[in-house]
Structure 1
């Protein structure tokens, strides 16, 4: 979502509830992108198998780069997760992926597949103009993101809860974020983060 500012507006320990609230906010966007961004870090064999069942075509990568001992090039993850033995898959972990899918195709299944690692669903669009707060929508920056098992949009601070963010203008737009949070019966829960 460009270099937006993202405000946390909802937290819960229930992944489905976080996704439901993100969808409520997404419904308020005036325009919606056709694609959704999915990201996840897979820490266990079970997590990897659940996610591969949802996204078999995603390009899974090592979280920490590995070197091929022969070529000294970066090693690529090459196992087929759904077919690999546990004993072969476990030493390959943790894995991650960044994948784009058509909106409305696999998001609910993705939420149910989220395991112990951090994960994210990003929904981009454009907020409607709001004369009351002098806020103007921007298709470059606006959107909703839910971060599972974390509380930052950089995907670097694991947590025991899930956080819903609203993305707004690159300079920030606290009044818009406050109005959006109020739609959930919430408030802005922290400072803006670079999205």
Structure 2
């Protein structure tokens, strides 16, 4: 039981750089999940249309800030056929989808708007018994949060943050080693992860 510990290892205002560094880290995972999780808050009609064009069979929902007219979270309109005037009152929307690893992540990043978004890669860090570092498939992974600095998606920021997730006890030596792999360091205390 419990959540991973998420260490921030990069903050930048360059979304493409954050994505590339997160990808570099995710390449170190062993026993990688075949899917990645994508999340985006869509604040504008353009954001919705761009994500609909990029994601395979996206399922949109009302954002936590905007509940549907009858208190619902699910969103049933077809965004590819609805006109702008029909979509506008429903904004902001959210989309969350699991996609095959390596399939659309770069297009997803290119389609990002100004809303918060994230990509999660799950797997297991390699066993390194000589340094007493052990992987944990339940906790390990990489996360990039666009326009945010909290692994649990908190407040909006100008910058993007890359996190490495380690076991629930907070494997700081592992986090430091991973940060060094991208020429960085652990930036803050660990946060509650997934």
Q: Same fold (TM over 0.5)?
A: yes
Give the corresponding residue for 2:132: 134
Deviation at 1:67, TM superposition (A): 4.1
Deviation at 1:130, TM superposition (A): 2.3
Q: Tell me whether 1:30 sits opposite 2:30 in the alignment.
A: yes
For the 8 Å contact 2:141–2:165, the answer to whether it is kept is yes
Q: C-alpha deviations, 1:29-65, integer Å up to 9, x for none? A: 1221001001111011111111111125121000132
Count how many residue pairs are aligned between Structure 1 and Structure 2.
Answer: 190
Q: Tell me whether 1:95 sits opposite 2:97 in the alignment.
A: no
Give the corresponding residue for 2:151: 153
For the 8 Å contact 2:149–2:161, the answer to whether it is kept is yes
Separation of aligned partners in 2, 1:90 and 1:44 = 8
- Counterpart pick for 2:121 among 107, 120, 123: 123
Separation of aligned partners in 2, 1:96 and 1:3 = 24
Pairwise CA RMSD of aligned residues?
A: 1.4
Separation of aligned partners in 1, 2:111 and 2:154 = 20
For the 8 Å contact 2:6–2:165, the answer to whether it is kept is yes
Unaligned runs of 5+ in 2: none
CA 1:162–1:75 in 2, change beyond 3 Å: closer, same or farther? Answer: closer
Separation of aligned partners in 1, 2:122 and 2:191 = 16
Deviation at 1:132, TM superposition (A): 4.5
For the 8 Å contact 1:126–1:138, the answer to whether it is kept is yes
Give the corresponding residue for 1:74: 72
TM-score, normalised by the number of residues in structure 2: 0.93
Unaligned runs of 5+ in 1: none
Give the corresponding residue for 1:8: 8
Q: Tell me whether 1:65 sits opposite 2:67 in the alignment.
A: yes
Give the corresponding residue for 2:167: 169
Separation of aligned partners in 1, 2:131 and 2:96 = 35
CA 1:171–1:80 in 2, change beyond 3 Å: closer, same or farther? Answer: same
TM-score, normalised by the number of residues in structure 1: 0.92
